[in-house]
Amino acid sequence: MSSENKGFDVDRFYRALRAIVWERLNTWRDVSAETGINPSTFSRMKRGRNPDAASLAALFAWSGLKPSDFVRRSCPEHCPEALNQISSILRADPNLDVDAATAMEAIVRVAYNNLRKSD
């Protein structure tokens, strides 16, 4: 499925979950124990298969991620709203001062412009 199709982006959700698992120094077994989700669900998600609704709800509650962030939407030539969201997150991060957030934002914008698909 292309990134321009609507639907749940299980690959992006799995990558975000994986980052949280690593950040919290957890294992997938830990997540399974904390959420009650069968460990095989994580293997299926890794292969791009959608989990059931109850598993999704438990994972969103456990991770603090927002479901709306993983819904595919059509996007114009470029997605300035994505860059604006990243900028807002960086500026709200208490671990970054204004200069650091500005520098990170510049890095992200340059990388985005260099790596985005051109038609």
Q: Structural domains in the chain?
A: 7-72 (1.10.260.40), 80-115 (no CATH)
pTM of the predicted structure, to 2 decimals:
0.60
* Cα→Cα distances 61→7, 30, 76, Å: 20, 15, 31
Is residue 62 pLDDT above 90, yes or no?
yes
| pLDDT higher at 90 or 2 | 90
Is residue 58 pLDDT above 90, yes or no?
yes
Long-range contacts of 15-22 (CB under 8 A, 24+ apart): 16/63, 16/65, 16/69, 16/70, 17/45, 17/59, 17/63, 17/65, 20/63, 20/64, 20/65
> Distance between CA atoms of 80 and 84, rounded to whole angstroms?
6
Taking each helix axis from N to C terminus, what angle separates 80-92 and 98-115, rounded to the nearest 10 degrees? Answer: 160
- 8, exposed or middle or buried, with CB in 10 Å at 0-12, 13-18, 19+? middle
